[in-house]
Amino acid sequence: MDTGIGSAIRRRDVGAIGIGAFASLVAGGEATLGQLGSVPAAEASAALQQGALVGILEGPTVITDGTIPATFGEAPSLAELVKSGALPPVQQRLPKNPMVIKPLHSIGKYGGTWRRAFTGPGDGENGNRICSTDKPLFWDYTGTKVMPCHASGYDLSSDGTTVTLTLREGMKWSDGAPFGADDYLFWFEHIFQNKELMPSQTPEMSVNGKQGKVQKVDDTTVQWVFPEPYPLFIDILAGSTALGAGQATRGDELNGSFAPAHYLKKFHPGFVGADEATRLAKAAGYDNWVLHIKFLNSWRLNVDLPVLTPWKTTTPINTPTWVIERNPYYYAVDTDGNQLPYIDKIVMSLAENLEIANLRAIAGEIDNQSRHMDISKIPVFLENATRGNYHIQLDPGSYGSDATFHFNHSFDADPEIVKWFGNVDFRRALSLGINRDQLNETFWLGVGTVGSPIPEDASPFFPGAEWRTKWHVHDPKQANELLDKAGLTRKDADGYRLRTDGKGRLRIEVTAVLGSFIDFARIGETVTQQWKEIGIQIDVLSQERSLAFNRALANETQIMVWANDGTENLFLFPRHAIPVDPAQCFMGINIAKWYASGGKQGSEPTDPAIKRALEIFRSAASKYADERTTMVQEIWRLLVDNVISIGTVGLSPAVMGIRVVKNSMANVPARQMNAQHCRTPCTSMPTTFYYSS
């Protein structure tokens, strides 16, 4: 039977609906979308929390007072292996001071298989985010407090130059080998400092352009030492960063700040010689030893890789079914001493596109997933919830734009495009040419907030209310005036503006990733029609994720449509706001290389706003939190005023905030932080989820 919400949203003539009004609609089931109007961002955020689909923020607790259970238990499947002699007893597999977690609601039951959908080899974050507790530090469930993770403690020296990590004594890799300071030192000396493996080093290892170093104090103590104060580094080790995100997330980039020395030494030329390393690589099907090492350190592809994650890959991601199974040496327990995780394994089945993934969820074939769940499917999810034995929760993001038009500011293949991308009035005109209200209504069911890419109003980094709309309103008249003033006055018979070099119509290519969080391709096509009104033609190129990202790394894209998630905390995930990260960059890979190398590689930005933003960003690392906050606000004002990228609609649950949860899965929070630095859902501790029936 049709519910009020279902029949209302399926109507083709829906009007804009505020996020809070939408939640009330779901709760009451009486109003129709056509009867509801838009709600301002601040009011919407407050109202949404009162709705049925957005619960109270909650999560498990990490015990940090030193209390350790007196005895330990384990999953029945591992107990059988211990009995047979295949595994040591659980107390010998755990460190002396395991991480102790108080589950959200109750001590769990062992067993079960967690069913999910993934979209192919490029969808690594599908598992990374569940297994991200291989990090040294992480954030609590509120996203505001740094907590110990595989490190049991940390300290910043009084002069701010040295960060000391204390590792858990007796901790082991998934193959039972000891884990300790040597694994950090191996990464620093034989991976990070190896120019063949790391030709472009992460700027996070330097402060004000001055390189730091890693040193071993003893087997369980490692220090990061910098030539100048670097108080931000604590947050970096806890964030979704090149150095803090862990082996699972950044291992295939050879970042992550540690690596299994005992395993990788067997293939590294520094230990086996260049000839032998090359022979081993070619025998494994790789052209050189560098590519071989990158494969070997990818937890998603290499089933033999020792890991610290709660589950480890047993069937790789480049198959139709990606399977990860419990790590018998995982270092965490619950407050009763039961080794985590509770769930035996996670099975992700390939979905060729988002529609298939969502259909599986609607049919009740997915147990817990927000990644790739489509906001437009909410009505159908609700209509089928009882039949599928699941419920829906919404987790709004705190970043400004779910579909951001990222200019490639180092694009160099076409001088005419380079000329216009470097013209601030051209960029402003394109932004003014977008009808965000139409996008919000069409693709976000009206629940998003339109405007620039800045974070939510409640964020300490919020630059001010006027920056939500600065150059981010629909004003085709002003857009046309700016384009005319810039010199794009000649048009063809169809009204499109002509290139100034006499080579015909000005055409801009927009790359849209297929099979992602929202329908970037259709959003691009809608903007195509909107920009026709200002005489600009764009050609939308829809591509698979890995291909699109690789083209961006090759400096081949012109504009990439992607979310700016993570920018709610700019220091911990800046790559979607400014070009600083050579491992992934849509906004100018050559600028990112220049920034990361201190000017030794890549190309210096020609846009003064980008250059100034990078200067502020670099200098902020040596400052303490209060001063950094005002510096981020200045960066946002520069980015918005100069339209370094174009924001559309955000502050919504559209990107990884539509959670479909099986009713039988317990310890799942009513609301969780939807934030990159929290590695959502990592801070909800999926290791404590279990099946109650």
Q: At 438, which helix (H) or strand (E)?
A: helix 436-443
Cβ 580 vs Cβ 592: under 8 Å: yes
Distance from C-alpha of 211 to C-alpha of 97, rounded to nearest angstrom: 33
Distances, alpha carbon 423 to alpha carbons 471, 484, 528, 562, in Å? 14, 13, 20, 22
Give the contacts of 478 (CB within 8 A, at least 6 positions apart).
429, 432
Cβ 99 vs Cβ 332: under 8 Å: yes
Q: What's CA 547's distance to the chain center, in Å?
A: 18
* Interstrand relation of 449-450 and 649-650 (parallel, antiparallel or unpaired): antiparallel
Q: At 404, which helix (H) or strand (E)?
A: strand 404-407
Rg (CA), the chain: 25
pLDDT in tens, 64-83: 999 999 999 999 999 999 99
Q: How confident is the model at residue 202, as a pLDDT?
A: 86
How is residue 604 written in tokens? Answer: 């210096």
Cβ 577 vs Cβ 676: under 8 Å: no
Cβ 322 vs Cβ 315: under 8 Å: yes
Cβ 269 vs Cβ 135: under 8 Å: no
Q: How confident is the model at residue 48, as a pLDDT?
A: 44
Q: What's CA 43's distance to the chain center, in Å?
A: 27
Distances, alpha carbon 93 to alpha carbons 68, 86, 96, 148, 332, in Å? 15, 12, 9, 20, 11
Which residues of 201-262 form beta strands (DSSP E)? 206-207, 210-211, 213-218, 221-225
Distance from C-alpha of 556 to C-alpha of 552, rounded to nearest angstrom: 6
Give the contacts of 74 (CB within 8 A, at least 6 positions apart).
82, 90, 338, 339
Q: Please name the amino acid found at residue 350.
A: L
What residue ranges define each of the domains in the chain, with the CATH number in brackets?
1-52 (no CATH), 404-650 (3.10.105.10)
10 Å Cβ neighbour count for 663?
15
Which of 257, 332, 270 has its CA nearest to residue 297? 257
Name the stretches of the chain with pLDDT < 70: 1-51
Q: Please calculate the CA angle 532-533-535 and round it to the nearest 5 degrees.
A: 60
Distances, alpha carbon 304 to alpha carbons 180, 197, 686, in Å? 19, 21, 23
Distance from C-alpha of 454 to C-alpha of 468, rounded to nearest angstrom: 7
Distance from C-alpha of 659 to C-alpha of 672, rounded to nearest angstrom: 10
Distance from C-alpha of 107 to C-alpha of 688, rounded to nearest angstrom: 8
Q: Please calculate the CA angle 432-438-439 and round it to the nearest 5 degrees.
A: 85
Sign of the alpha-carbon dihedral angle for 384, 385, 388, 394: positive
Q: How confident is the model at residue 686, as a pLDDT?
A: 98
Which residues of 523-612 form beta strands (DSSP E)? 537-543, 559-562
Q: How confident is the model at residue 2, as a pLDDT?
A: 31
Which of 548, 484, 545 has its CA nearest to residue 511? 548
Q: What's CA 684's distance to the chain center, in Å?
A: 15
Cβ 326 vs Cβ 114: under 8 Å: no
DSSP string, 173-195: -TTS-B-SHHHHHHIIIIIIT-T
Inter-axis angle of helices 41-48 and 19-28, nearest 10: 30
Sign of the alpha-carbon dihedral angle for 99, 105, 108, 111: negative
Q: Please name the amino acid found at residue 583.
A: A
* Interstrand relation of 61-63 and 99-102 (parallel, antiparallel or unpaired): antiparallel
Cβ 359 vs Cβ 660: under 8 Å: no
DSSP string, 24-46: HHHHH----GGG-----HHHHHH
Cβ 591 vs Cβ 542: under 8 Å: no
User: 681 by DSSP, 3-state: which?
Assistant: coil
Distance from C-alpha of 104 to C-alpha of 61, rounded to nearest angstrom: 7
- For the chain, count helices (H), then strands (E): 25, 27
Distances, alpha carbon 428 to alpha carbons 285, 432, 465, 499, in Å? 49, 6, 19, 18
* 400 burial via Cβ count (<10 Å: 0-12, 13-18, 19+): buried
Distance from C-alpha of 437 to C-alpha of 474, rounded to nearest angstrom: 9
Q: Please name the amino acid found at residue 676.
A: Q
Q: At 527, which helix (H) or strand (E)?
A: helix 520-532
DSSP 507: E
pLDDT in tens, 323-339: 999 999 999 999 999 99
How is residue 63 written in tokens? Answer: 């015990």
